[in-house]
Amino acid sequence: MEPKSSSPEPSSPDRSSLESTGLDPSSPEHVLSFLGRLGERLDRLALPARIEQALGRQDVACVLSNLRRRLREGPDAPLRVAFFGPTGAGKSKVFNSLSGKVVSPSGFRRPFTMRSVYLAHERQRQLLEGSPGETRFAGDEGWRDLILIDTPDFDSVEKQNRDEAERVFREAEAFLFVTDVQKYADHATWEYLRRIFAEAKPLILVLNKVVSEGAGQDFFSRIDRSFGGAARGVERIVVREYPLDDAALLPSEDGGLRAIRAALERLAGSSGERRATLNARFRSDLHGFLELWGRAEELLALSLLGLSEVERRLGSRSQEEMERLATRLDVQVDPALRAEVFAKVQDRLQRIDLLRYPRRLLALPLEGLKVLLRRWIPGQEASSAAEEDPSRGETFQFLEGSVLGLFDGLKEDVRGEPRCWPLLAAEEILSLRFSHDEVKSLYDDREVAFREWLRAEARDTASTLTGEHKLKFILSQVIYNSVVVGIQIHTAGGFTLAEFVADGVLSPIVAKAVGLAVSSDAVRRFERKAKAEHRRVLAGVIEEARSRVAAYLERQAAWRADFDALRDDARALADARDRIEALFAEAGGASGGFVGGRGEKPSSARGGIHG
């Protein structure tokens, strides 16, 4: 519904943000549905443990829950008054004595009250359905506009009790604070009193178990000194000490008990006063939620920015390592050396008559050729431990250093990015680091893949040649390019001329094939492709390391989409805040209420919820 014309004109919300989120601030049903969706998204926000601790999700969710409840109940709902106090101050006895019967058990065991107990009029049954505490109902018309809540001790040794006291603290619209002559000097008592005064919620102060008037004067004087003007108008009541057992009630004629009852009736006040209190609490909850979420949003947004920066640095570091590897592998054959090799080969060819050496042809390949090819032909046996273990090769060592350097760089990047502290744990980052055996296994797999590629590429290229050149090409590319590419890669160019032309390494027929086919464009293209492919497959080891880290970073930010949606909803709520406050304030009375979210009117001029 629209606010009455006599109401101040609220600020206009951002229409684009409201339309994008589906929030209609003129409809109670839409606002309730929107807040429900906001709560579901907050529950679904799966955060890493460290950032969860820093977020304070429980506080945000509690304020949002109260906001939804207040909106459902409307400004004509009964006032919720929480009985607060330190352990053993006697608040449960006062609570029971007001009702005329034991509705919240008390006893010598501390803490005794373990759950909140709600006392309300019979007509409020529907209102308290699904209440997190125990519910008790009475027919006394004096409780029609009040819901009294006996709360666990806020200074309890039990954490669940302290948590429940915190929940009720946020739920209540007013407080009846009970302490006694032994407890009122405790630090915890004054800390909670400071919180209550800071919230500016209506307050009734009760000093229990008083024997002399001096104790009461001392306590209330300290209240005035501590809180000054904020303490003016606060109800102050003294209840005398009675030698009663735990189950007994205070005498009904006790002056302090009668004063508490009268103070509660004044607290409920007229319908207009109660509406003013509930309007103030609704505004406070709405502002409180936006403030709490604003702090949480800032923390989460900064963490995501820091995470994005680490991801950017990871990509940059991995690219640098790949470029270093490419430079390391891109060792060219000295043109002078190549010319000298060809000259020697041609010289040998001129002195060889192939027809005179049939046995030599049949004996190919020679043992020396096997030594050069064993790394390139599967099934060849290595002759030394150095060739069986690539970890002893220069290329492997260089590659392993690049991979480990990537992880070390990530650790330094995280240390230098303070926005990431809630997200990235040092021990988790260290657990990502590749071991020596992992790098070796990845290296071996890629070497095998490269050999298979080399042979397959040779067959594909040879299939395009004529029969006359096919054999020559296969011999030249498999042997010559394996030597030129492979030996360069694995020894960084550290082979000698003798290793090419010495007897037992290049046989005459191979030398002749090289001499006939090496100048062809197909061979040169093959050599370039082979080098490029080898760089690619080895760079894949670095990519494996980058992918492992990237997957970890992605898991840390898996909540990004939910956070973005939640942030959009919260911003739409902030844009519509004034409209929603006006909507709540105008509900009830002649305009209809929010009962059950259905816009029903209260059944009496006094307001309240009726079953």
Contact 317, 404 (CB under 8 A): no
**Residue 275, CA distances (Å) to 31, 290, 375, 584, 586 in order:** 20, 23, 88, 10, 10
Mean pLDDT of 315-327: 90
What are the two backbone dihedrals, phi and then psi, of residue 262, each rounded to the nearest 5 degrees? -65, -40
Going by pLDDT thresholds of 50, 70 and 90, the confidence category of residue 19 is: low
Mean pLDDT of 16-41: 83
Check residue 608 and give left, alpha or beta (phi > 0: left; psi -120 to 50: alpha): left
Going by pLDDT thresholds of 50, 70 and 90, the confidence category of residue 155 is: confident
Q: How far apart are CA 312 and CA 319, in angstroms?
A: 11
Mean pLDDT of 287-308: 90
- Specify the range with the lowest mean pLDDT, choosing from 387-401, 544-558, 574-588: 387-401
Degrees, nearest 5: CA angle 285-267-584: 35
Mean pLDDT of 352-361: 39
At residue 134, the 3 state secondary structure works out as strand
Which has more confidence, 390 or 152? Answer: 152
Taking only the tens place, the pLDDT of each residue in 96-146 is 998 888 887 664 344 444 679 999 998 888 888 888 888 888 877 777 899
Contact 570, 20 (CB under 8 A): no
Partners of 84 in the beta sheet? 177
How much of the chain exceeds pLDDT 70, in percent? 68
Pairing mode, if any, of strands 117-121 and 146-150?
antiparallel
Largest CA distance in the chain: 136
For residue 260, the model assigns a pLDDT of: 95
- For residue 497, give both structure tokens: 């001329």
Neighbouring C-beta atoms of residue 496, cutoff 10 Å: 9
* Helical packing angle, 91-99 and 255-268, nearest 10°: 80
Q: Is the pLDDT of residue 391 over 60?
A: no
- For residue 376, give both structure tokens: 């390139």
Contact 147, 118 (CB under 8 A): yes
Contact 553, 314 (CB under 8 A): yes
Q: Could you state, in order of their start, the residue ranges of all structural domains in the chain?
A: 26-76+278-306+559-585, 78-269, 330-558
Going by pLDDT thresholds of 50, 70 and 90, the confidence category of residue 95 is: very high
**DSSP assignment, residue 477?**
I
For residue 580, the model assigns a pLDDT of: 94
Q: How far apart are CA 465 and CA 469, in angstroms?
A: 6
* Helical packing angle, 57-73 and 271-329, nearest 10°: 140
Please state, rounded to an integer, the average pLDDT across all residues of the chain.
74
For residue 105, the model assigns a pLDDT of: 67
At 317, which amino acid appears?
R
Partners of 179 in the beta sheet? 207
For residue 39, the model assigns a pLDDT of: 92
The burial class, CB within 10 Å (0-12 / 13-18 / 19+), for 470 is middle
What are the two backbone dihedrals, phi and then psi, of residue 71, each rounded to the nearest 5 degrees? -70, -40
Which has more confidence, 82 or 154? Answer: 82
Enumerate long-range contacts of 554-561, CB under 8 Å, 24 or more apart.
556/48, 556/307, 556/423, 556/424, 557/304, 557/307, 557/423, 558/46, 559/45, 559/46, 559/47, 560/304
Mean pLDDT of 396-405: 89
Q: How far, rounded to the nearest angstrom, does the alpha carbon of residue 438 sit from its chain's CA centroid?
A: 30
At 502, which amino acid appears?
A
Which has more confidence, 169 or 521? Answer: 169
Q: Is the pLDDT of residue 228 over 80?
A: yes
Q: How far apart are CA 269 and CA 145, in angstroms?
A: 9
- For residue 493, give both structure tokens: 């160019």
The model's pTM is: 0.68
- Specify the range with the lowest mean pLDDT, choosing from 238-247, 432-441, 586-595: 586-595
Taking only the tens place, the pLDDT of each residue in 173-215 is 999 999 988 877 788 888 889 999 998 889 999 999 998 877 7
Class of the 78-269 domain?
alpha beta
Check residue 563 and give left, alpha or beta (phi > 0: left; psi -120 to 50: alpha): alpha
Contact 284, 39 (CB under 8 A): no
Q: Is the pLDDT of residue 567 over 90?
A: yes
Going by pLDDT thresholds of 50, 70 and 90, the confidence category of residue 15 is: low
